Amino acid sequence: MAGIDLSVNISGVEFTNPLIVASGPPTLSPQQVLKCIRAGAAGAVTKTITYDVKQQVQPKPRMLVVNPEDALRNRFYSFYSIDLMSEHKPELWLRQLREVKKEAKAYGGVIIASIAGRTFEEWEKLARLVEEAGVDMVELNLSCPHLEKGELMGRAITSSPEKVSEVVKTVRRATSLPVIGKLTPQGANPVELAKTMVSSGVNALVSTARFQGLIVDLETMQPVSWGGFGGYGGPWQIPISVGWTAHIAMEKLGVPIIGSGGVSKWEDAAQLILVGASAVQICTAIMINGLKIIQEILGGIEKWMVSKGFQSIADFSGITLGKIVPLEKLERRKRFQLHIDSEKCVKCGLCIRVCPYNALNAENASSIPEPDQERCDNCGLCLSICPRRAIRFEEGSGE
């Protein structure tokens, strides 16, 4: 679109737009990384590269969509999986990344290598290796939900801020490339974790990854499918990710934030940018909707930017932060009168059922609910659930 500049700069690296494919199945090989870039992503993060052989062999089966009907209708759904790290040995990545690098560059595409070491020496070795392969940035997998019990990678390491700090420092010393720290939403407080990573030397942060979950089959009474814990995420996660991104941005840590966790529509990406993200990562939605979603998201952002008069991503990155009302300043005194539009109401009785204050009553099933203005506490629940949007607040008397 004429006049719209989608480019962003993250720690000195130029991205043609704010959409980056996150580490995962869409980037499981160098060829797949290239496909993402050809499809219009400004960058792609490789599936996590590791020397850990038990991470290189995938459980079978390992992925399932909870509520697939909703996923196909683009409604909230959950993605449950135990996809481990890259099946390819680091040396294969080294060889093949070198080969795809040239074409990626021709598209202006940024290649980010995700790495995970079992020891500080491995973190160091992997950082050197991917730099040698010609990647543009390094991302630290300090977020994988499957890792537990004292390991030095994934979410397991975050129980020790000292070890997180040591990993960041080790990688920082080993490479001259910008280093991105990927946060887990689970375990340590992500804001504290972000501070530890930044003070130890990361140049950018990925705001959130997935949670760990467990789904039990009531017939067999065993965990479903592969039989163990799994990563749990999906579009339902977006408000949590927007919340964490805002919290981290409000700390003004001085490094760019890449918003992530549940992006499936342009509106999600725009929200993350509004609360301070410079760019956005996306994985699950590509797996469900295909690479075409990249252009759909970019097109949606561009159109919205035109409608709002924004010309660049920087024009709106973080502008919502100043509008977030802290708890102690939330409106408490103003009161509204509840009004039910008799033309719209279909007498379904839903509002009566949900009202926690018993402020709505109907004489019988064929009458329109009558609000008791004294009892109504203006909580807003009936307004949001009414299928006909028949209920509204009207300015009433103060206090």
The pattern of x and - marking residues 95 through 134 that bind ligand FMN according to CB under 6 A reads: -------------------x--------------------
Cα–chain-centroid distance for residue 38? 22
| Residue whose tokens read 């109504």 | 376
The pattern of x and - marking residues 36 through 75 that bind ligand FMN according to CB under 6 A reads: -----------xx--------------x------------
H-helix or E-strand spanning residue 306 = helix 292-308
Cα–chain-centroid distance for residue 115? 19
The pattern of x and - marking residues 28 through 47 that bind ligand SF4 according to CB under 6 A reads: --------------------
Residue 340 near ligand FMN by CB under 6 A: no
Distance CA 244, CA 238 (A): 10
Nearest-approach distance from CB 284 to ligand FMN, in angstroms: 3
Q: Token pair of 45, please?
A: 């993060």
Other Cβ atoms closer than 10 A to 339? 14
Residue 85 near ligand FMN by CB under 6 A: yes
Residue 141 near ligand FMN by CB under 6 A: yes
In 3D space, the residue among 230, 233, 225, 200 whose CA is nearest the CA of residue 214 turns out to be: 230
144 is catalytic: yes
Q: Which residue number, 164 or 209, has a Cβ lying nearer to ligand FMN?
A: 209
284 binds, among ligand SF4, ligand FMN, none (CB under 5 to 8 A by kind): ligand FMN
Distance CA 142, CA 244 (A): 16
CA atoms within 13 Å, Cβ hemisphere of 186? 19
Residue 79 near ligand FMN by CB under 6 A: yes
What are the φ and ψ backbone dihedral angles of 21, each rounded to 5 degrees?
A: -80, 125
Residue list 319-378, contact with ligand SF4 (CB under 6 A): 338, 340, 345-351, 355, 357, 359-360, 369, 371, 376-378
Nearest-approach distance from CB 395 to ligand SF4, in angstroms: 15
Contacting range for ligand FMN; rule: CB under 6 A; set: 34-42, 94-102, 261-269, 329-337: 261-269
Given 144, 351, 355, 382, the catalytic residue: 144
Pairing of strands 63-66, 137-141: unpaired
Q: 221 forms bridges with which residues in the sheet?
A: none
H-helix or E-strand spanning residue 30 = helix 30-38
Contacting range for ligand FMN; rule: CB under 6 A; set: 129-137, 140-148, 318-326, 336-344: 140-148
Q: Burial code of 190-224, b = ≥16 C-beta within 10 A, e = fewer?
A: beebbebbbebbbbbbbbbbbbbeeeeeeeeeeeb
Q: Token pair of 314, please?
A: 């920087």
Number of residues located near ligand FMN, criterion CB under 6 A: 28
Residue 25 near ligand FMN by CB under 6 A: yes
| Residue whose tokens read 């003070």 | 199
Which residues sit at the interface with ligand FMN, rule CB under 6 A? 22-25, 47-48, 63, 79, 81, 83, 85, 114, 141, 143-144, 182, 209-210, 231, 233, 260-263, 282-285
Residues with catalytic roles = 144
Per CB under 6 A, residues contacting ligand SF4 are 338, 340, 345-351, 355, 357, 359-360, 369, 371, 376-382, 386-388, 390-391
